């Protein structure tokens, strides 16, 4: 697994917008995030610059506008974060993690049904 840049919670919020709408301009990112956060446009621009510096984003100047594209995939980043969380808190044992969530009533019936469906798909894939 390749090492991905460390991204703060705030930077992750910026990445979610960019992953969803890329390629996307600075103004479009700012417009979307000012609707869901209390951040100033300057704060958002600073977060974008940090993500470029960390190698999470690339940009292209189109006329007088900067357009951003992610250099890391959302699925890959979330997968790595999930893996490190699992390893750190549950010694890599996903069954222990799920058991803890189920016992503490942190999973709804629909979430349990979704997990059951995923497990059945995985089981079927192993048989094929």
**What confidence score (pLDDT) does residue 128 get?**
66
CA distance 9 to 80: 15
Domain boundaries, the chain: 9-70, 74-127
Mean pLDDT (whole number) for 92-115: 84
Mean pLDDT (whole number) for 59-67: 96
Mean pLDDT (whole number) for 104-128: 83
Mean pLDDT (whole number) for 7-13: 95
Helices (H), the chain: 9-21, 26-36, 41-53, 74-90, 94-103, 109-127
Instruction: Check pLDDT > 70 for residue 15.
Output: yes
- Name the CATH superfamily housing domain 74-127: Penicillinase repressor domain (1.10.4040.10)
The fold adopted by the segment(s) 9-70 is: Arc Repressor Mutant, subunit A (1.10.10)
């Amino acid at each position: 697994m390749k090492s991905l840049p460390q991204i703060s919670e705030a930077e992750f919020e910026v990445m979610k917008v960019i992953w969803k709408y890329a390629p996307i301009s600075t103004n479009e990112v700012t417009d979307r995030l000012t609707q869901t956060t209390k951040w100033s446009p300057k704060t958002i621009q600073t977060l974008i610059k940090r993500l470029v510096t960390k190698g999470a984003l690339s940009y292209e100047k189109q006329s007088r506008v900067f357009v951003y594209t992610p250099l890391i995939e959302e699925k890959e980043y979330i997968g790595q974060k999930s893996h490190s969380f699992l390893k750190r808190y549950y010694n890599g044992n996903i069954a222990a993690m799920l058991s803890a969530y189920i016992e503490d009533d942190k999973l709804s019936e629909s979430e349990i049904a979704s997990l059951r469906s995923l497990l059945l798909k995985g089981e079927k894939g192993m048989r094929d």
